[in-house]
Amino acid sequence: MSRVRNPLEPVSTAVKAVLALVAMLMGMGVLAGLFADNVYVLGIGEKSVCVTDTTTMTNVGEQPSPFPSYRPAPGATLNLNAHPDYCTEAPSTVQSLLNTATQIAPFAFTVGALLLALRVTRSAARDGLYTTQTAERLRRLGWWLLAGSVLAAIATSLAEKALIASLSLDSGISAVSGMWSWDVPFMAILTGLGVLSFARIMRVGITMREDLDGTV
């Protein structure tokens, strides 16, 4: 009897390949960080910290508006590009942790989505596409894409704004301002809604098939 091909190919192979690539890059980064200088992973071990205030528009060479007294904090530098860039060559422990947090949140969301997608593809290959187990795991993936992307965006914004506040003076920015200035992940939200809809369709189809099987 020939083996039934995974109905979610080539997505299954793509997810495995991306996870393997992420694991390989992380492993190489950790090893390089142990034996080489100026190598860091997700901000860990980074000697300098830089952050861009994307909520403020500036003209190059001019003081940003509406804060004419925009100044870097002691030990930090300010570069006026399209948005003010703050940097420090000697970050404090808190600043290093905040810098790492801005990178870990989206990374954790992405890896979590890939792992949940891998569970869906494995369930489809083992149990079949139209099964309760696969539909339930697909529903979890949908909720992760929907809620996880929003939480990751908010967490990143909070850490970023707290880092900006620590590197600037009179900027009018605080960690709390990250609650309403985060970037809405429209694509992840729409994808999550689509996955949830498909999971619901699958569950309806499974129920109908079970009802038909019961009447035969």
The yes-or-no verdict on residue 199 having pLDDT over 70 is yes
Rounded Cα distance, 45 and 96, in Å: 8
Predicted local confidence at residue 173, as pLDDT:
77
**Long-range pairs for 18-22: beta carbons < 8 A, 24 or more residues apart:** 18/114, 19/111, 19/114, 19/115, 19/118, 22/111, 22/114
Q: Which has more pLDDT, 159 or 212?
A: 159
pLDDT of residue 56: 75
pTM reported for the whole predicted model: 0.79
With the CA atoms of 62, 65, 71 and 76 taken in that order, what torsion angle do they form, in degrees rounded to the nearest 10? Answer: -80
Per residue in 17-53, pLDDT (tens digit) is: 888 888 888 777 777 666 666 666 677 777 888 888 8
At 16 the pLDDT is: 86
* Extents of the domains making up the chain: 11-215
Q: Tell me the percentage of the chain whose pLDDT exceeds 90.
A: 23
DSSP state of 87: E
Is the confidence at residue 153, as pLDDT, over 90?
A: yes
pLDDT for res 191 = 93
Q: What is the mean pLDDT of residues 173-193?
A: 85
Measure Cα distances from 174 to 87, 101, 165 in Å: 17, 16, 5
Out of 6-15, 65-74, 86-95, 206-215, the most confident range is: 86-95
6 — phi, psi (to 5°)?
Answer: -60, 120
CA angle 23, 25, 30 (to 5 degrees): 95
Q: What is the per-residue pLDDT across 43-67, written as a single tens digit (0 to 9) for each?
A: 777 788 888 888 777 665 554 444 4
pLDDT of residue 114: 92
pLDDT in tens, 99-128: 888 889 999 999 999 999 999 988 888 877
> At residue 68, does pLDDT exceed 50?
no
For residue 138, give the nearest of 124, 148, 125 by alpha carbon.
124
Give the mean model confidence (pLDDT) for residues 74-96: 85
DSSP structure class, residue 182: P
